[in-house]
Amino acid sequence: MSTRLEAKMEALRQAGRKALFIYITAGATGLEETIEAVRGAEAAGADVIELGLPFSDPMADGPVIQASSVSALKHGMTTAKEIELVKKLRTFTDIPLIGMGYINTMLHYGFEKYAQDFQAAGLDGFIVPDVPHEESADMRAACEKAGLHYAEFITPGTTEKRMEKTCEKATGFIYCVSNNGVTGVKKIDYSVIGKVCEKAKKLTKTPLAVGFGIGSPEAAVAAAEHADAVICGSAVVSRLLEGKKDEAFALIHSMREALDAAYGKE
Amino acid sequence: MKKGRFGAYGGQYVPEIVMPALEELEAAYAKYKEDPDFQKEFNYYLNEYAGRPTRLYYAEQLTKHYGRAKIYLKREDLLHTGAHKINNALGQALLAKRMGKKRIVAETGAGQHGVASATVAALFGMECHVFMGALDVERQKLNVFRMKLLGAKVIPVSSGTGTLKDATSEAIRYWATNIEDTHYIIGSAVGPHPYPTIVRDFQKVIGEEIRSQMAEKGLGKPDYLLACVGGGSNAIGTFYEFRNDKDVKKIGIEAGGRGSAPVDNAKTLSGSGEPGVLHGAYSYLLQDDDGQVIEAYSISAGLDYPGVGPEHSYFKDEGIVQYDSVTDAEALAAFQRLSETEGIIPALESSHALAYLEKLMPETKPEETVVVCLSGRGDKDVAMVAKTLGEEIE
């Protein structure tokens, strides 16, 4: 039996298409707004939604996602409300939903209960950006027990020895960080992470998703070359924060079109 | 014990991007820790440049004031740049130099660690970037200018709440972005492994000197050791040497601030903190019911940190060190008391340790000794104290 995420990735692979992951911060401008953003993103061509779970000290994030986290917390977001949000999303969509959150909120809630409650609500997996492979055992075990994916990371600096360890445990997808630094739109030479992706492909069949820095259709196409998916966050979040929903959806749509034009829609 | 852990505490909760740099630092430190040339150079700068060993001063007037145990002050305030922070900054800059790094990045609250980092960067010809909360930049203009004079670039941080914890996150982000040629000098015994161990090792000279200076004075071991705790670097430096001496009572003093609500103090170990993860380490942490970090408060800009070094969390659970707190008002009174009795103006941070004497001294006997780590001098706090006391100064 395959999960929602595996089924989606496999269908795209067979069609020769690249997956588009869109990051949306839960509750950044209120819960109802987030629901509309997910609905709009899917309609514009997103294949997977990465749901940002706000934390007070998001160490791996750049200014835009930081601002969206502050805004979400000001709007009163809590773990309980995030779980409610997932339940509400599941009333109208089957799009794979991956939560991206920081370890302290998970630890505080209790890893097992956290994974179980989100799974029961309809989430498909987690990304925990402040946890390297070495510290991931407890949360990964909780995810496995609950039937959720737990994303591993590789970066331009990841050694092959390290990659063997991370790829061995990976399910769902591997998050390939395109550059040294934090989230946020910037000009990046995607051939660097492309080479790392090629190495990873020899070790694993788990889909590779490249993220960090992607803010335009051109960047999405470049980032996707050696990967199965691209992740776009800050460029969408900044537009949503400014209340420019239509611009955000137009950007997603243009990325979708560019990816399909470059890599073929059957 | 697991690698990089103090009991359950510590670890490496950082983005994958940072891991190669931590591995590089760990390997370099393991190598230079045992390298006589490195130790010789470190000691040379500690002694000739920073002014070690610092005096263990018998505070006769303060002793008379209480009429109980003899009080000794470990005079870290007499070091170059005015606080113990220089011990760690020198050690880490020498390490960075040997690792071939060209740039130093640091975070700072009130500016003491920023000044220490800017100082060593100037000394060793390295570029220095200091991240400082936008609010603190405004409040600590003098230290900001000192850093500029020393050639450092001060970057105001307005993300999050614009204070020390956000400056720390921003320093880590900058480090992650420039990892190849940059070394991050963390200012306290906090952060991911191997930082808490490195900072402790560069600060443990405080306790080692206390032991030998007590012996030279024919006093044996101290009965009590007091040090203030924010992140906890002067305290770990004071206590570590005596960690196995059960007959030495070690007390770490946190900032009790202006009230008992978590937002009104920085009582991470002595108040409502619970274990959690901040800035790379698992340790006691001020957090709300949802695991969001609470902004700590203290009159002292060096103590208002919601986390604490992981080794302190271990010391607390094992009962090796006892943790307590004093309020803003008590610290302020101690600041004035030491100034008036001994002619020494202490840092507001160190004033917290001094304030605890009010509680401790009545329990002590005249034949006993109390050593207080006077971690820094109070010049930087004069404007703040004047404002609090309602004095007009320019």
pLDDT for residue B64 is more than 80: yes
Instruction: Classify strands B103-108 and B182-185 as parallel, antiparallel or unpaired.
Output: parallel
In total, the C-beta contacts within 8 angstroms joining chain A to chain B are 109
Interface-testing mutation among A55, A57, A74, A160, with chain B (most B C-beta atoms within 10 A)? A57
Residues A224, A259: contact at Cβ < 8 Å?
yes
Contact A56 B160 (CB under 8 A): yes
B283 touches A: beta carbon within 8 Å: no
pLDDT for residue A99 is more than 80: yes
Residue B384: its pLDDT value, please? 87
Nearest chain A residue to B168 by CA: give it: A59
Residue A186: its pLDDT value, please? 85
Contact B176 A180 (CB under 8 A): yes
Residue B98 phi/psi, 5-degree rounding, is -70, -25
Residue A265: its pLDDT value, please? 58
Which residues in chain A have their CB less than 8 angstroms from residue B164's CB?
A: none
The CA-based angle B221-B227-B231, given to 5 degrees, is 135
C-alpha dihedral over A212, A216, A218, A223, to 10 degrees? 20
Residue B3: its pLDDT value, please? 79
Nearest chain A residue to B164 by CA: give it: A57
Q: How confident is the model at residue B1 (pLDDT cuts 50, 70, 90)?
A: low
Residue B164: its pLDDT value, please? 86
pLDDT for residue B61 is more than 80: yes
Q: How confident is the model at residue A159 (pLDDT cuts 50, 70, 90)?
A: confident
For residue A57, give the nearest of B17, B19, B165 by CB distance. Answer: B165
pLDDT for residue B317 is more than 90: yes
Catalytic residues of B: 85, 107, 375
CA of A132, closest CA in chain B: separation in Å? Answer: 5
* The dihedral sign for the CA sequence B104, B109, B113, B119: positive
A105 touches B: beta carbon within 8 Å: yes
Which residues in chain A have their CB less than 8 angstroms from residue B276's CB?
A: 104, 107-108
Which residue stretches of chain A are H helix? 4-14, 31-44, 63-74, 79-89, 103-109, 111-121, 137-146, 160-169, 191-203, 217-224, 234-241, 245-263
Which residues in chain A have their CB less than 8 angstroms from residue B20's CB?
A: 157-159
Burial of B331 (0-12, 13-18, 19+ CB in 10 A): buried
Rounded percentage of chain A residues whose pLDDT exceeds 70? 99
Contact A130 B13 (CB under 8 A): yes
Q: Using H for helix, E for strand and C for coil, what is the string for chain B?
A: CCCCEECCEECCCCCHHHHHHHHHHHHHHHHHHCCHHHHHHHHHHHHHHHCCCCCEEECHHHHHHHCCCEEEEEEHHHCHHHECHHHHHHHHHHHHHHCCCCEEEEEECCCHHHHHHHHHHHHCCCEEEEEEEHHHHHHCHHHHHHHHHCCCEEEEECCCCCCHHHHHHHHHHHHHHCCCCEEEECCCCCCCCCHHHHHHHHHCHHHHHHHHHHHHCCCCCCCEEEEECCCCHHHHHHHHHHCCCCCCEEEEEEEEECCCCHHHCCCCCCCCCEEEEECCEEEEECECCCCCECCCCCCCCCCCCCECCHHHHHHHHHCCCEEEEEEHHHHHHHHHHHHHHHCCCECHHHHHHHHCHHHHHHHCCCCCEEEEEECEECHHHHHHHHHHHCCCCC
Give the span between the Cα atoms of A231 and A235, in whole angstroms. 11
Distance of CA A125 to the CA centre of its chain: 10
Query: Whole-structure pTM over 0.90, yes or no?
Result: yes
For residue B11, give the nearest of A55, A56, A135 by CB distance. Answer: A135
Which residues in chain B have their CB less than 8 angstroms from residue A129's CB?
A: 15
For residue A105, give the nearest of B173, B180, B291 by CB distance. Answer: B291
A residues 142-161 lying closer than 8 A (beta carbon) to B: 153-155, 157-159
Q: Which of the residues A42, A47, A61, A152 is marked catalytic? A: A61
pLDDT for residue B71 is more than 60: yes
For residue A158, give the nearest of B16, B160, B165 by CB distance. Answer: B16
B291 touches A: beta carbon within 8 Å: yes
Structure tokens at B290: 């949802």
**Active site includes A124?**
no
Rounded percentage of chain B residues whose pLDDT exceeds 90? 86
* pLDDT, tens digit, 9 for 90 and up, residues B220-263: 999 999 999 999 999 999 999 999 999 999 999 999 999 999 89
Structure tokens at A232: 């776009």
Least confident piece of the model among A200-209, B137-146, B258-267: B137-146
CA of B98, closest CA in chain A: separation in Å? Answer: 21
* pLDDT, tens digit, 9 for 90 and up, residues B263-316: 999 999 999 999 999 999 999 999 999 999 999 999 998 899 999 999 999 999
pLDDT for residue B394 is more than 70: no
* pLDDT, tens digit, 9 for 90 and up, residues B347-388: 999 999 999 999 999 999 999 999 999 999 999 899 889 999
* pLDDT, tens digit, 9 for 90 and up, residues B102-136: 999 999 988 899 999 999 999 999 999 999 999 88
Give the span between the Cα atoms of B282 and B300, in whole angstroms. 24
Distances (CA, A) of A99 to A50, A114, B150, B154: 6, 11, 45, 35
- 3.30.2350.10, 3.60.40.10, 3.20.20.70, 3.30.300.130: CATH of A4-263: 3.20.20.70
pLDDT for residue A1 is more than 80: no
pLDDT for residue B179 is more than 90: no
CA of B302, closest CA in chain A: separation in Å? Answer: 19
For residue B291, give the nearest of A58, A67, A104 by CB distance. Answer: A104
Contact A57 B160 (CB under 8 A): yes
For residue B176, give the nearest of A70, A159, A182 by CB distance. Answer: A182
Least confident piece of the model among A107-116, A142-151, B80-89, B157-166: B157-166
Residue B247: its pLDDT value, please? 98
Average pLDDT, chain B: 95
Mean pLDDT of A18-28: 98
Q: Which of the residues A6, A47, A50, A82 is marked catalytic? A: A50
Give the span between the Cα atoms of B346 and B391, in whole angstroms. 18
Residues for chain B: how many in total? 394
